[in-house]
Structures are given as structure tokens and as C-alpha cells.
Amino acid sequence: MSDQQVRNEVETNSGGGAAPAPLLEMQGICKRFPGVIALDRVDFSIGAQEVLGLIGENGAGKSTLMNILGGIYQPDGGEIRMDGRVVHVPDVTASMKLGVAFIHQELNVLDNIDVAGNVFLGREPRRGGPLLLIDRKRIHENTRPYLKRLGLDISSKTLLKDLPIAQRQMVEIAKALSLDARLIIMDEPTSSLTLHETEQLLKVVLELKHQGVSVIYISHRLAELNDIADRVVGLRDGKNAGELTKDEISHDAMVRMMVGRDIKSFYVESHAEVTQAHLRVRGIRSRSYPQYQVSFDASRGEIFGFAGLVGAGRSEVMEAIFGIDRQPAAQIYMGEEQLKIRSVRDAIRHGIYLVPEDRRGSGLITRMAIRENIPLPAQGRYAKMGCLISRRLETKTSEEQRESLDIKTPSVETEVVNLSGGNQQKVVLGKWLSLEPHVIIFDEPTRGIDVGAKAEIYRIMRDLAKAGVVVIMISSDMEEILHVSDRVAVMCEGRITGVLTREHCSEENIMQLAVGNQVEGALPPFKQDKGEAA
């Protein structure tokens, strides 16, 4: 059943488009932090059996508003009403008792215990009188109906570590349902999901609505809101930015509401021509598909996109080029020089840099300041007498990157953990740009980043390409791949199945290549040199 069919069925069974009665109302909500007005008299409401999209740039106030509803923060002004009566939400427990459940982008599950243990964590049924032993039989019996309700065909005894991320997320939803949640808040729920997993989650959201649950859906992937939202509310700079009814929801309308203007040049158009290959890669093997070799050419001046289904081996290939996965048999050439890359240090020495998908886990030390993060890849440049780090040099370089990348922060002494996703990504970029890259690989460069910050990241990527840097981009965002790339290599199960130029680059052609089919106009990944094996 398609998303639209599910939606039509839900609407038919729920009485069509009649406005739902208010379940929650937040009126005149204010919240101040030292030096910052996070929320300024914000009004917000959601009806019973309504899916409400909540959008806004990073720092717009979305998380603060939801954290007040979740009992994490206390408002400085305004009131909250549930079912028309004023309520006080002093803590998370009080929020849960009101029927509110929060599913965070970073899942709150324990990998080392089973599904049932996660669903009833802290609320386990007991037996044995004063011994208070956990009743394992009851906990599994009580869990199964929630798994069935979500269409989750797994055993309640399965360990969480053995489940893919999408099913772990479903376990979180099952936990919310076990709390008799009437309102579920989903914060960027599809940021780590494949296209198929995203489709399944959107169907679950619509089914939850049909079952009487309201959903606040926070996402930077605006196309998802087109599919499931009954209404979209926007925040900007801590204030209400507007509201769109179901018939008014469109990508452009949501962008205008978020940023207060039309982004005419959201994607920086390219007129790049593919010149002689500057980076040539031969014989890379991914860990998941060691039986296949990956070879390709990339040129200066272009953004070379890598598309494919999650698990196709794209990130593994790029990690090998960056020296994370040593591959003695592979050959990497820059110009006419063959490089010896046995480690990350070798890659950095040759000017090959990787902006990782997991910027928090692999790209940054979030509890350190910007000044301490940017010099990390080349500490020797900042050392006096070979051992003492010059704070003055660190500050100078970090200030230069802060200014050139427009990192929004009052000081380079700010801890990275306190920055928005877009500004964290700029700090990762600042690390590498301070070292004058020859090749820079972006792995999911705008995941979890708002629409305004995306435009800035695209501009930086295009400027790098124009400056003669080889720019490679891995992305699972089809719109991003189509609009940002000059050429697109598509991978399927450890192989490049074809390369598409702008002329032949379409969603249909990419998906055909991603599942292993051939399409007209697809080119081989590299130009075979004389004497070079195919």
C-alpha cells in the first residue's frame, strides 16, 4: 500500500478533514537562557488525531518548546493546557503521566538488553512478593501486543544490538504506546533511515493517527511533511513564523516560512566541465563486499556525487581512500603521482580529507572548544619547540575559519556541543580547510541540518570545486544528489554500476542503477588507460 493510500484510508476512517478538537495548547510560552531569548510568546496547539509538522532552522526554538512540554525545562511565562485545562509539567514523569512521549533523534534504548526489557524499562512487572523479581513471562506477554500493533515482526526476546536502527526506533514507539501515550513527539526520526525504512515509518505515523494518537513530527526533510502532515507550524528566532494548512503545504511555502525569504539560489548551479582526472582510484574493496573492486576517476572543478542504497559500500570505499581501512593492493593516483596511503596520517599528508557522516562521533570532540577542535588534524603546526601547543596560533586559525565559514558563535572558546548541527558541520570543515585540501570527501554533508545551513554548505562545496579541489559527496538525499552533483556514480552491493552526467541524471535512472539494473546513458566509472585491466 502506498503512503497516499494509507493516508486516504486514515482520512476516510477518521471522518475526513474536519478540524480536530485541541488536545494540547501552549499559549504565550517564553523561555530565556543567559544572554538568549529562546522563546518569545510562542503559541502552539495540536488536535486529537492530528499529525503536526514542526519546522524551523537550528536555533529557532523547536527543541526548547518540546523540552518544556516534556518537562525538561520550565517556561518563564505562558501556560500549557491539556484537554482544555491548565496543567503544570515540573518534570519528565509528569509529562509522561499526561500521555506525552518523546522519541529523540539519538535513541534512548539499551543495546545489551532485549526488546521487552527496553519497552518496560523501569516499569517491569514483578513477582515473588518482597523479593521483587522481574516477571520475565509477563514482560514478554505484555510487549507482544505493542509489537503487533506496529506491524513489527520480531521476537520480544531479541537483543536490541541485533536490530537495525529502524526497528530500534519502532521499539521506542512501542515503549511510548505502552505508556498509553496520547501525544508522541518525533524529533528527526528518519535522519538515519534508508528510503524503504523511511516509507515504513511514515506509514506507522499515519496508522498511529488512525489509532487515536497525535504526533508532533520535527524534520528537516520537508518532503516527508508533504506526505503525512495535516498542518505545519514554523518557528523562527524563537517566535511564531506562521502556519500552513493541509492544502497550503509545499516545499517552497515551508522554506519561506522557515527563513523568511525565498531561497532562489538554494542550490548553487554549476557550469563545471569534467576535465582530465586528477584523482584516480583503482581496486578499492569494501569490507562488506570484498569480492568486488571499485575504481573511478574524479576531476577538479566538479562535485562528484556517490548515490546508492544504504549498505552499498559507499562510505567504506571512501574510508579506505582516507586510510581508515588499509588496502595494500589498491592504487590511488593524484595527478601522475601514485600515493602510498597506509593510514589516515598518510591521507592527511597528501591533502585527502574526510568529513564523516557522524560528525559528533567521528568528526569532533564536542566537549572541547572550537579553538581546540580546528587544529586537531595538524597539532605539529601549532607546537612551539616541538611539544608546547601555541594557544595564540590555535586562536588565530580558529578565528579565521569562524569568519570565513560564518560559524555562528560568540567566541571560538564555545564548546562545540553548544552549537547547532549546521555550525558543528562548519567546525568539521574548518579543520580541513585550514590545511588547504587537494581532495575532500563529504559523507552525508547536510544530515540533520536545517534548510538555511544546507544552502551555506552547498556554497562552500561549490567554492572548493571552483578553487580546484576534488570534491566527492556521498548522499542518501535524492534531491541533494540531483541538484548538487555534476556527475553521479551509483553503487550497488559493492560495485559502481554506472556514472550519470547531468544530462542523464534522474531519480529513476539512479534507482535503477542502485538495484543493479542498467540504464541508457550510464558511463563507466573511469577511462581505461592503455594496458590497464578492465
Average pLDDT in the 27-38 region? Answer: 87
448 and 462 in one domain? yes
More confident of the two residues 260 and 81: 81
Would you say 283 and 295 are in contact if contact means Cβ atoms under 8 Å apart? yes
| Of residues 460, 456, 451, the one with CA closest to residue 59 | 451
For residue 7, is pLDDT > 50? no
Confidence class of residue 36 from pLDDT cuts 50, 70 and 90? Answer: confident
Structural domains counted in the chain: 3
Average pLDDT in the 51-59 region? Answer: 87
The whole model's pTM is what? Answer: 0.66
59 and 186 in one domain? yes
325 and 447 in one domain? yes
For residue 41, is pLDDT > 90? yes
CA pseudo-torsion sign 238, 241, 244, 250: negative
Select from 410, 434, 458 the last residue of a domain. Answer: 434
449 and 328 in one domain? yes
SS3 381: helix
Confidence class of residue 528 from pLDDT cuts 50, 70 and 90? Answer: low
450 and 386 in one domain? no
511 and 480 in one domain? yes
Confidence class of residue 261 from pLDDT cuts 50, 70 and 90? Answer: low
Select from 434, 451, 474 the last residue of a domain. Answer: 434
Predicted local distance difference test score (pLDDT) of residue 6: 41
Residue 93 lies in a domain: yes
186 and 88 in one domain? yes
Confidence class of residue 272 from pLDDT cuts 50, 70 and 90? Answer: low
Select from 382, 417, 434 the last residue of a domain. Answer: 434
Residue 358 lies in a domain: no
Residue 263 lies in a domain: no
One DSSP character per residue, 33-76 reads ETTEEEEEEEEEEEETT-EEEEE--TTSSHHHHHHHHTTSS--S
Confidence class of residue 347 from pLDDT cuts 50, 70 and 90? Answer: very high
Check which CATH number belongs to the domain holding 194 and give it: 3.40.50.300
The pLDDT tens digits of the residues spanning 59-113 come to 788 989 999 999 999 999 999 999 999 999 999 999 999 999 988 776 778 889 9
Average pLDDT in the 10-15 region? Answer: 42
Residue 126 lies in a domain: no
DSSP state of 212: T
Residue 357 lies in a domain: no
190 and 88 in one domain? yes
Average pLDDT in the 320-328 region? Answer: 89
Residue 340 lies in a domain: yes
* Bridging pattern class, strands 470-474 and 303-308: parallel
294 and 441 in one domain? yes
For residue 58, is pLDDT > 80? no
Confidence class of residue 486 from pLDDT cuts 50, 70 and 90? Answer: very high
The three-state DSSP-derived secondary structure of 310-379 is CCCCHHHHHHHHCCCCCCCCCEEEECCEEECCCCHHHHHHCCEEEECCCHHHHHCCCCCEHHHHCCHHHH
426 and 328 in one domain? no
Burial of 438 (0-12, 13-18, 19+ CB in 10 A): middle
Phi, psi of 172 (to 5 degrees): -60, -40
**Mean pLDDT across the chain:** 86
SS3 23: strand
Helix H or strand E encompassing 210: helix 195-210
Burial 83-107 (b: 16+ CB within 10 A, else e): eeeeeebeeeeebbebbbbbbebeb
For residue 1, is pLDDT > 70? no
78: left (phi over 0), alpha (psi -120 to 50) or beta: left
Least confident of 40-44, 141-145, 386-390: 386-390
For residue 199, is pLDDT > 80? yes
Predicted local distance difference test score (pLDDT) of residue 274: 65
CA-based diameter of the chain, in Å? 81
504 and 441 in one domain? yes
Burial 384-420 (b: 16+ CB within 10 A, else e): eeeeeeeeeebbebbbebbeebebebeebebebeebb
Whose grid coordinates read 557522516? 357
Residue 110 lies in a domain: no
Residue 202 lies in a domain: yes
More confident of the two residues 37 and 497: 497
509 and 473 in one domain? yes
| Of residues 312, 436, 381, 314, the one with CA closest to residue 322 | 314
Predicted local distance difference test score (pLDDT) of residue 87: 95
More confident of the two residues 496 and 198: 496
The listed range with the strongest mean pLDDT (143-152, 225-234, 386-395) is 225-234
For residue 2, is pLDDT > 50? no
Q: Residue 451: which domain range? A: 277-351+437-527
For residue 350, is pLDDT > 80? yes
